[in-house]
Amino acid sequence: MKKLLLSALTLAIAVGASAQQKKEYPKPEAMRPAMTEFWTPQPKVVTPGDIKTDSAPSDAIVLFDGKDLSAWKSCKTGGDADWKVHNGVFTVDKTKGDIVTRESFGSFQLHIEWCVPKNITGTSQARGNSGVFLQDRYEIQILDNYQNETYANGQAGSVYKQVIPLANAMRKPGEWNVYDIIYNAPVFNEDGTYKVPPTVTVLQNGIVLLNNFTIRGTTEYIGHPQVKPHGDGPIRLQMHGDPSEAISFRNIWLRKL
């Protein structure tokens, strides 16, 4: 019994000594505001466009400034784009086919303004139909949907036949509509599938129609979206050929992201 008590006492003394010898480390420094502040790199300075003159931001690529279509070419001939330029705008020529930008792009911010004429006629898809194709593959629908119903995933602002816009933000025929489009280009796996799919955000007249929507593939008129590997691509404007009056465009610029 004495041996057991002696052993217990010895163990207690050893534990106590070990506790006394435990190393003390400095306590974490109290957080200060400056610890979570970064001063570099500073964002580059971009001068906004003048809202009074509809000028583009200082770092934008101007695709149409009201003077000519030198930034565009004809899809049909590969030569100069020959839609009609007049009074600071250009109008679809339904005898000439689509036009595309001469330059190709990856991810971007695109600003484009469009107007259907006041005397527009037709219904559903046959009423001021056009489209802006991102990287020449993914169509953002352009259509006069002011008091004009159509299939919901083919309405203005939709990724054509893939998604219903969050709102109908159309202005009356004869008034200008504004699209601001933020597009993130896809990244592909070696087998041609999406590693990172393309996404798009669309605002019409300051109203969000699509919020970071994941594009499923090409926008087909017949059939389902297809995933086809590609690199940078141009912006395409569509000559739809519906019997209603042709639409016009102005003030188009793009910022690479």
The tokens of 51 are what?
Answer: 């809202």
- Element (H or E) spanning 122, and its range? none
With the C-alpha atoms ordered 165, 167, 168, 169, is the resulting torsion angle positive or negative? negative
Quote the pTM value.
Answer: 0.85
pLDDT in tens, the chain (257 residues): 555 555 555 555 555 555 567 888 888 889 888 887 788 887 888 888 887 777 888 899 999 999 999 999 999 899 999 899 999 999 998 888 899 999 999 999 999 999 999 888 887 886 778 899 999 999 999 999 988 888 899 999 999 999 999 999 999 999 999 999 999 999 999 999 999 999 999 999 999 999 999 999 999 989 999 999 999 999 999 987 776 668 999 999 999 99
Amino acid letter for position 208: V
Q: Which residue has the tokens 């933000």?
A: 169
Q: Which residue has the tokens 């912006």?
A: 235
Give the Cα separation of 236 and 252 in Å (integer).
Answer: 12
The tokens of 186 are what?
Answer: 């896809």
- 188 three-state secondary structure: strand
Beta strands in 116-198 (DSSP E): 130-134, 138-142, 177-184, 187-188, 194-196
